[in-house]
Amino acid sequence: MTPLITKPGFWRVMAPLLIGLFLLLTWQLVCTLLEVPAYLVPTPLLIAKTLAADWGLLLDSLLVTLKITFLAFAFAVALGVLIAFMFVQSRFVEISLFPYAIILQVTPIVAIAPLIIIWVKDTTAALVVCATIMALFPIISNTTLGLRSVNPGLLNLFKLNKATRWQTLRRLRIPSALPYFFGGLRISSGLALIGAVVAEFVAGTGGTGSGLAYQILQAGFQLNIPRLFAALFLITVTGILLFWMMSTLSRLALAGWHESEMS
């Protein structure tokens, strides 16, 4: 039987955990020895205590942020795939509309979020629109690239057999595009979270419907730095989990046939 410590999967998990543990211990030791005030940089132990003490408040805010993130991500995937299908069916449509997709990508969401919040009366809907704009471009770009990255020989074979556009799309282009699509999902999921947090910062929504960004703002105003770090920790962990979920989904979909996920 192969020892667990010699398996690649073991070190894939343990190596980052050991490095993270070392950094946390170093952080704790430096702050303790130098007696750094908690209102400047709290220790990891104090952040953990604050996270436990304020768990109810932070969990409610996390659920609000997650709601916006997942709604925006779902809309970005649906719209991005639909637009990519349109682009691959017509080169004229692609060259006509793709520059506008680039404009959406390069325009800072902070600059247009106030306008969206003014135009869209419902705050949650406005935040979802902002986060969707943030997460849309990677889906469009990656999926379009994947749909066009087909083997020329296989494409000629489909044409020789008089395959319809739908048959070529379903049996050739979509399977070829899946690795690119899942790559876009990994990027877009994180951008949806970033878009949700940035939109919350701009909106400044409070009360029972406030997300983690509002808790960070309030903690900063009140100099409650341990709570600020606790909220940042939750956002970071959420981003890591989203990336892991998309990576797992990619592995499940591609492991049996594509070289990118085969051992």
Q: What is the mean pLDDT of each run of 10 residues along the chain (263 residues)?
A: 63 85 94 90 94 93 94 96 91 89 86 87 90 94 91 87 86 90 94 92 65 90 92 94 93 77 61
Specify the CATH number for the domain of residue 130. 1.10.3720.10
The reply to whether 20 falls in a domain is no
The reply to whether 263 falls in a domain is no
Taking the CA of residue 148 as centre, how many other CA atoms within 13 Å lie in the half-sphere pointing to its CB? 14
Tell me the residue type at 40: L
User: The tokens 């008089």 sit on which residue?
Assistant: 162
The reply to whether 184 falls in a domain is yes
Token representation of residue 221: 């105003």
The H or E element containing residue 153 is helix 152-160
CA dihedral 6, 23, 30, 225 (to 10 degrees): -150
CA angle 257, 260, 263 (to 5 degrees): 75
**pLDDT number for residue 111:** 85
Tell me the residue type at 71: L
The reply to whether 40 falls in a domain is no
The reply to whether 13 falls in a domain is no
Distance (Å, whole) CA 244 – CA 111: 30
Q: Work out the angle between the directed axes of helices 55-89 and 212-221 (0-180°, nearest 10).
A: 130
Distance (Å, whole) CA 41 – CA 24: 13
Q: Are 199 and 126 in contact, with CB atoms under 8 Å apart?
A: yes
Q: Are 68 and 212 in contact, with CB atoms under 8 Å apart?
A: no
The reply to whether 171 falls in a domain is yes
Q: How many domains in the chain?
A: 1
Q: Are 213 and 201 in contact, with CB atoms under 8 Å apart?
A: yes
**pLDDT number for residue 109:** 85
Q: The domain containing residue 90 runs over which residues?
A: 49-254
Q: Are 42 and 225 in contact, with CB atoms under 8 Å apart?
A: yes
The CA-to-CA distance between both ends of the chain, in Å, stands at 19
The reply to whether 37 falls in a domain is no
- Cα dist from 1 to 4, 5, 7, 9, 263, whole Å: 9, 12, 11, 15, 19
Tell me the residue type at 105: Q
The reply to whether 115 falls in a domain is yes
